[in-house]
Amino acid sequence: MQIITTCPYCNGRGKILKNPCKKCNDTGVYKKLVETEFDIPKGVKEGMQLIIEGGGNHPGNEKGIKGDLIVQIVEKPDSVFKRFNDDLHCDLTLSVIDAILGCEKEINTIDGSKISIKIKHGIEDGNKIRVKNYGLPIYQTNRRGDMICNVHLTIPKNINEKEKELLIELQKQEHFK
């Protein structure tokens, strides 16, 4: 029986160094933390991978080229917006008066700008308002998803006597019975 294996002393190179490098132990490679800058395309999603050609490990004393660096995308949660595919959901809090009469509200977008949206009269708690093209960019296109505002109504906890009287008077009206 015959066994052929690579020499453990020279790793098949045919030479043994008298003073091998202490940093790499004669492998030609050592660990080092390196920062790499690269562009992240618009619209990437959680779990996608970006490949940076030649950004990976060097083959060391072996012949060959550097490997590729594979970057796994992990999204950081946002305190205001929740992602659903390319759409963004956010909460929109309205007073009961604004919900009854309708109003115009200024809201923040994911880009940090503000836009004004019209709230139709009679909107109810739990309704959704779709704001077209204010969601996230759609990967490899020039389009965007939508921003969807989930309506929540607030009811005042404390009211003064005058407000109470006005509400009692309003309660007697035809559409408030």
Whether pLDDT at 121 is above 80: yes
Whether pLDDT at 117 is above 80: yes
Residues of the chain with pLDDT > 90, as a percent, come to 61
Mean pLDDT, the chain, as a whole number? Answer: 88
Contact 129, 89 (CB under 8 A): no
pLDDT digits (tens, 9 = 90+) for 24-68: 776 667 777 888 889 999 999 999 999 999 888 877 666 778 889
Contact 65, 54 (CB under 8 A): yes
Instruction: For the chain, give every domain's residue range.
Output: 82-176
CA–CA distance, 63 with 65 (Å, rounded to integer): 7
Check residue 62 and give its pLDDT: 66
Check residue 61 and give its pLDDT: 63
Contact 81, 89 (CB under 8 A): yes
The two beta strands, 87-95 and 147-154, are: parallel
Closest among 159, 50, 6 to 96, alpha carbons compared: 159
CATH class of 82-176: mainly beta
